[in-house]
Structure 1
Amino acid sequence: MANLLNNLIMTRILAAITLLLSIVLTILVTILCSVPIIIAGIVKLLLPIPFVWRKVSVFCNFMMFCWCEGLALLLHLNPWLKWDVEGLEGLNKKNWYLLICNHYSWADIVVLCVLFRKHIPMNKYFLKQQLAWVPFIGLACWALDMPFMKRYSRSYLLRHPEQRGKDVETTRRSCEKFRAHPTTIVNFVEGSRFTDEKHLQTRSPYKNLLPPKAAGIAMTLNVLGSQFDKLLNVTLCYPENSRHPFYDMLSGKLTRIVVRVNLEPIQEELHGDYINDKGFKRRFQRWLNTLWVQKDELIEEIKTSNKNAGH
């Protein structure tokens, strides 16, 4: 009994030390990579010249790649972590991709950055417009050409009908810059991280997912049209660390990351006016909901096989 108690205490002490070291190292890596990006953002702000902007974008993408490499090294220090990945074949850094993914945790961003850093163009994440005004962070994201989205609620548009369509225009301006060079645009289409509380609040018809929000990717496809080579439908799962994967990642207790990547063709019928064409809107939602049904079944299958393997 005493030995068991001692082992438990030692395990918790090691986890606490690992957590502290991981946080410190992650902050250091982030500072080393973000400070040059912020400086480059200031240069971009002061010199609004296309040639300068292109050079700044290349430099910032390189620094983001360095950040991904640093995170990959930190994850590699965890000897218990196993990657279970399928579907990376056929990816190319010279292509344009729209990547959609389910969203469990802050760990998802780390996983996507680390996993795809050598396979596809650097990820660009859709961000809320308000983030653009956050000191340093907003400037860094702007320097990295992250697309900002301005969303209006239905109730707001009823009170201010003159704002209708402005969110589409904001998305259009954010995406136009990606025509010039290969890009991966990432959209967590559930809109927020999965929790049991949100699952109940949204009355989700899925066991493991929140209902997908179609407007963002519909607008992106409408703006860039046939520019995208493929849709990357990514399914993430942490079958042994489903409750707190980000904390477990930092504390060295993350044991298994499961990623399934499906390359989906982007059919011509997926390009249309989501705002004004009700028929297209229904078809697009039906297509996305079908993908989400398949994703939910896949996650359930992964969880079931993991439970069976544990017995």
Structure 2
Amino acid sequence: MSLVRRLLETLRGAFAFTLLALNTLVWCLLLFALALVKLALPFEPVRRVLDRALNAVATAWITCNTGWMRLTQGTRWAVEGAEVLEPGGWYLVNSNHQSWVDIFVLQRVLSRRIPLLKFFLKQELIYVPVIGLAWWALDFPFMKRHGKAALRANPGLRRQDAETTRRACEKFARTPTSVTNFAEGTRFTAAKHRGQASPYRHLLKPKAGALAFALGALGTRFHSLVDATIVYPAGVPTFWDFLCGRVPEVRVHVRELEIPGVFCSGDYEADPALRSAFHQWLDQIWREKDRRIATMLGEPALA
């Protein structure tokens, strides 16, 4: 790559980052003002109205992000399946996870097609300047992850995340929401893939807990599962790569799946048979997603 091209890409990245930062600051000022009113007036009718207003502010932020992407990026977007979705109702959204760019991809592809995406986030992300407070104001669920050793020593820790999910989903019940989860629990890397001895070519093993707890909390309110598959044909980008315009193409496949009713009414933790059935259902989705990724990348078909 020539020095001039690298310099131009760096300038583009700096310009895109500046637009993102300004967009975030402007909308967060309004978001925080509404959040203060929500704290001061903790009454259900008021909260219903404010939740809708907060979601509208977040949607406007996403729309403006799409604007600066179009202005600064030459990325080709190949999206299939999203046109059949409807903006009303509650959705459970699931996707593979490779980069921070995935969040912006999902927001761009699904915004205004379904309600605002609410992500399960690691507890540490609440300390991210400005945006961490925005996630808190929008009732994003922050999850504390415990290692296997800690869980073996104290099995009760599993219930903490289940309770966090339940409380978050109770808030989601006030207004249509898209509860979003990366079932792999972390970004895909070749090292993590080898360390897990994952049975999938392009995916880490899925973690069923957050999805199952969300289904248990919101029950039949969910309209369906929106299963998104994201592929970067030129290689997985960093967020800086994305800002610099080094992502020539993004491919996204979206499909809507019916959620078996038993998963919305049963007890995932207490019922071993239901838990086994849920794992089998998720494994089937993951195997189909693995084959889908191979097809989208033009690789030989998976068995």
Do both share a fold (TM > 0.5)? yes
Q: TM-score when scaled to structure 1?
A: 0.89
Separation of aligned partners in 1, 2:127 and 2:78: 38
Partner of 2:213: 219
- Structure 1 residue 46 corresponds to structure 2 residue 40: yes
- Structure 1 residue 118 corresponds to structure 2 residue 106: no
C-alpha change, 1:161 and 1:245, in structure 2 (3 Å) is closer
- For these two proteins, the number of residue pairs brought into alignment is 299
Q: CA deviation at 1:129?
A: 3.7
Separation of aligned partners in 1, 2:129 and 2:220: 36
Q: CA deviation at 1:47?
A: 2.6
Separation of aligned partners in 2, 1:82 and 1:136: 30
- Structure 1 residue 252 corresponds to structure 2 residue 245: yes
**What is the aligned counterpart of 1:165 among 159, 167, 189?**
159
- Does structure 2 conserve the Cα–Cα contact (< 8 Å) formed by 1:57 and 1:145? no
Q: CA deviation at 1:152?
A: 4.0
Separation of aligned partners in 2, 1:53 and 1:62: 14
- Does structure 2 conserve the Cα–Cα contact (< 8 Å) formed by 1:190 and 1:212? yes
Letter in 2 for 1:256: E
- Does structure 1 conserve the Cα–Cα contact (< 8 Å) formed by 2:93 and 2:181? yes
Letter in 2 for 1:253: R
Structure 2 unaligned blocks of 5 or more: none
Deviations 1:82-139 (A, max 9, x none): 1111112331111211000000111111111111112111111112344446665443
Q: CA deviation at 1:153?
A: 4.1
**What is the aligned counterpart of 1:73 among 57, 67, 70?**
67
Separation of aligned partners in 1, 2:61 and 2:41: 25
Q: How does 1:228-267 map to 2 (within 5 A)?
A: 228-240=222-234, 242-267=235-260
Separation of aligned partners in 1, 2:107 and 2:73: 20
Separation of aligned partners in 1, 2:148 and 2:48: 37
- Structure 1 residue 146 corresponds to structure 2 residue 140: yes
Letter in 1 for 2:236: R
C-alpha change, 1:158 and 1:196, in structure 2 (3 Å) is closer
Partner of 1:288: 282
- Structure 1 residue 202 corresponds to structure 2 residue 193: no
Q: CA deviation at 1:39?
A: 2.5
- Structure 1 residue 11 corresponds to structure 2 residue 5: yes
Q: CA deviation at 1:167?
A: 2.5
Deviates more, 1:76-85 or 1:286-295: 76-85
Letter in 2 for 1:155: A
Partner of 1:309: none
Separation of aligned partners in 2, 1:178 and 1:14: 43
Partner of 1:3: none
Larger Rg: 1
C-alpha change, 1:164 and 1:42, in structure 2 (3 Å) is same
Letter in 1 for 2:240: Y
Structure 1 unaligned blocks of 5 or more: 1-6, 307-311
Partner of 2:49: 55
Sequence identity (%): 38
C-alpha change, 1:180 and 1:109, in structure 2 (3 Å) is same
- Does structure 1 conserve the Cα–Cα contact (< 8 Å) formed by 2:93 and 2:178? yes
SS in 1 for 2:84: coil
C-alpha change, 1:54 and 1:302, in structure 2 (3 Å) is same
Q: CA deviation at 1:162?
A: 5.0
Q: CA deviation at 1:227?
A: 0.6
Separation of aligned partners in 1, 2:131 and 2:12: 27
Deviations 1:264-303 (A, max 9, x none): 0011233322212222111111111111111111111111
Q: CA deviation at 1:144?
A: 0.8
Q: CA deviation at 1:38?
A: 2.0
C-alpha change, 1:136 and 1:254, in structure 2 (3 Å) is closer
Separation of aligned partners in 1, 2:22 and 2:299: 38
Deviations 1:242-276 (A, max 9, x none): 23252322001211110101110011233322212
- Does structure 2 conserve the Cα–Cα contact (< 8 Å) formed by 1:41 and 1:139? no
- Does structure 2 conserve the Cα–Cα contact (< 8 Å) formed by 1:214 and 1:285? yes
